[in-house]
Amino acid sequence: SDLQKQEERGELLQPLIFVLLVLCSILLYFKVSLMDPGFVKPEEEEGEDKGQGVIPQIPGDVKLRRCGYCLVKQPMRARHCQQCQHCVRRYDHHCPWLENCVGERNHPLFIVYLSVQLVVLLWGVHVAWSGLYFEQSWEWLQHNIFLLVSFLLILIFTIVVLLLLVSHLYLISCNTTTWEFMSHHRISYLQHSELENPFDQGIILNLWRFFC
């Protein structure tokens, strides 16, 4: 049959890989959106910071404070999220697409999700572009308008995901978060530090500690 011939020629391998990547991105989406991003539990000790501990450059007069909303003692780099109604360890941001915070526990998986999604989108751009052949006629536009619009939408999503992934990788390489980068002037442990970024330990060590 035609299907067997296509399988023998290896023509079914690429569609199969594409479908698997799409399924992987969907599973990662639900995993990141449903998992605990690193909520601070009331029973946890004040000094615990799960590997993100206070390093010597942080002034001693900066004390951990009690959250005014959920009344837990906030570890260093934690922040209360109004949408989730919890304090989140190593808070990065609240993602409206995930309806969840990105924090200490799910941030690495969030990066993996963005990477897989970018591969899927780039593949989609390639497929849509390969199906286009341009002619300057109204009839051509009528027959290809759906494919053309799809190509433009996928291209826009690809650019957005690429910029988001690059910006996160840059912040990770500096060992800072989106919240710390955007609100540096309002965060007490950064205001009183002699260094602009007291958590930076070099690109290699920053990446190693984040992913490993």
**CA–CA dist 23, 203 (Å, integer):** 32
Number of domains forming the structure of the chain: 1
Domain-embedded: residue 50:
no
Query: Using one digit for the tens of pLDDT, what is the confidence trace for 52-96?
Result: 444 444 555 556 678 888 888 888 899 999 999 999 999 999 999
From 70, 95, 174, 212, active-site residue: 95
Judge contact between 49 and 189, C-beta under 8 A. no
**CA–CA dist 49, 33 (Å, integer):** 23
* Residue 70: active-site member: no
What pLDDT is stored for residue 20 in this prediction? 95
Domain-embedded: residue 156:
yes
**CA–CA dist 77, 92 (Å, integer):** 9
Task: Count other Cβ atoms within 10 Å, centred on residue 103.
Answer: 30
**CA–CA dist 109, 125 (Å, integer):** 24
Domain-embedded: residue 71:
no
Domain-embedded: residue 154:
yes
In sequence order, what are the beta bridge partners of 93? 102
**DSSP H/E element including 102:** strand 100-102
Nearest C-alpha neighbor of 113 from the set 25, 177, 173:
25
Domain-embedded: residue 45:
no
Nearest C-alpha neighbor of 172 from the set 145, 140, 197:
197
Query: Using one digit for the tens of pLDDT, what is the confidence trace for 171-191?
Result: 999 999 999 999 988 888 888
Domain-embedded: residue 137:
yes
Domain-embedded: residue 80:
no
Calculate the average pLDDT of the chain: 84
Judge contact between 85 and 70, C-beta under 8 A. yes
DSSP summary character for residue 72:
P
Domain limits for position 6: 2-36+104-211
Q: Is the pLDDT of residue 158 over 50?
A: yes
**What's the rounded mean pLDDT across residues 101-113?**
96
**Whose structure tokens read 């969907």?**
26
Domain-embedded: residue 51:
no
